[in-house]
């Protein structure tokens, strides 16, 4: 039995158009097809894809309002989460998807083309390398990541991309308090400041989430990010 994506979104107060539904369904189809060749996701049941990937990704937009023409980078995007769903829902933003695995970037290129996402660019590379690149450093309005890494590590990957005054949005589980206490010093060193933490549930599902908003209040010191591998091996 087919699951009603529109209904799942509506339960959490998210309105979705027929065009957007069609784009999400095409995205789902491509992801499952490519998942047979490369490891994109362990989640393959339809309802779980809709809730844990699609709905979870767009919920960030409920708690942080994006402006038109915002330049956002999704760091460690993997199969395109949360960047692709956010770009589907708001085609006025400029979304860049950064991932270190070339095969995943090839998949994302096909998704962007098939869904007609003119507001999305892809880039193969490591956050540590691009965060030090003058053309990429501190030139995005916002960075977002749903990557599985502690917030002190994620902040070193993401904050260098964000302009002063912009934000880094970290999508985490609800168990975030201790992680924030440990990561607060690193966030400050990197030019950030924790602005707010929104804890919420995906309606109708026993899934608790947090969205941590970190404001960029000062420049990231030039020695950060450190060379590839260092942030995860020796976290700040």
In this predicted model, what pLDDT tens digit does every residue of 176-198 receive, in sequence order?
888 898 899 999 999 999 999 99
Q: Provide the sign of the torsion angle of the four alpha carbons 49, 65, 213, 135, taken in this order.
A: positive
Which of 130, 85, 127, 89 has the alpha carbon at shortest distance from 108?
A: 85
Is the predicted pLDDT of residue 55 greater than 90, yes or no? yes
| CB proximity list for 77: less than 8 A, separation 6 or greater | 83, 84, 97, 98, 99, 104, 108
- The confidence score (pLDDT) of residue 1 equals 52
What is the chain's mean pLDDT, rounded? 92
Average pLDDT over residues 110-122: 97
| CB proximity list for 138: less than 8 A, separation 6 or greater | 160, 161, 162, 163, 164, 216, 219, 220
Q: Residue 86 and residue 199: Cα distance in Å, rounded?
A: 19
Does this model's pTM top 0.85? My answer is yes
Strands of 86-129 (E only): list them.
94-99, 120-124
- The confidence score (pLDDT) of residue 202 equals 78
Q: Which domain holds residue 228?
A: 5-233
How many Cβ atoms from other residues are within 10 Å of residue 69's Cβ? 10
CATH number of the domain residue 228 falls in = 3.40.50.150
Show the tokens assigned to 77: 């995007």
- The confidence score (pLDDT) of residue 141 equals 97
Is the predicted pLDDT of residue 204 greater than 80, yes or no? no
Q: Structurally, how many domains does the chain consist of?
A: 1
Contact between residue 61 and residue 90 where contact means Cβ atoms under 8 Å apart: yes
pLDDT tens, 209-221? 899 999 999 999 9
**pLDDT band (50, 70, 90) for residue 68:** confident
| CB proximity list for 53: less than 8 A, separation 6 or greater | 41, 43, 79, 81, 85
Percent of the chain with pLDDT over 70: 98
pLDDT tens, 12-37? 889 999 999 999 999 999 999 999 99
Q: Residue 130 and residue 137: Cα distance in Å, rounded?
A: 7
Label residue 126 exposed, middle or buried (CB < 10 Å: 0-12, 13-18, 19+). Answer: middle
- The confidence score (pLDDT) of residue 114 equals 97
Residue that has been written with the tokens 């030019």 in this structure: 191
Show the tokens assigned to 57: 């990704």
């Amino acid at each position: 039995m087919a699951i009603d994506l529109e209904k799942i979104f509506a339960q959490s107060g998210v309105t979705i158009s027929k065009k957007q539904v069609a784009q999400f369904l095409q995205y789902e189809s491509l992801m499952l097809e490519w998942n047979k060749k490369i490891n994109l996701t362990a989640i393959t049941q339809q309802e779980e894809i809709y809730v844990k990937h699609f709905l979870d990704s767009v919920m960030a937009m409920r708690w942080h309002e994006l402006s038109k023409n915002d330049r956002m980078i999704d760091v460690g995007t993997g199969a395109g989460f949360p960047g692709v769903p956010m770009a589907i829902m708001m085609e006025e933003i400029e979304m860049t998807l950064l991932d270190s695995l070339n095969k995943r970037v090839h998949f994302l290129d096909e998704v962007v083309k098939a869904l007609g996402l003119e507001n999305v660019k892809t880039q193969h590379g490591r956050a540590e390398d691009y965060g030090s690149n003058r053309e990429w450093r501190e030139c995005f309005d916002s960075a977002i990541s749903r990557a599985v890494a502690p917030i002190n590590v994620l902040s070193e990957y993401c904050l260098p991309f964000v302009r002063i005054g912009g934000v880094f949005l970290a999508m985490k589980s609800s168990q975030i308090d201790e992680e924030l206490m440990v990561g607060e010093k690193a966030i400050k060193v990197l030019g950030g400041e924790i602005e707010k933490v929104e804890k919420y549930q995906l309606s109708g599902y026993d899934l608790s989430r947090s969205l941590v908003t970190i404001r960029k209040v000062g420049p990231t010191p030039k020695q950060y990010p450190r060379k590839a591998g260092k942030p995860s091996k020796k976290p700040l």
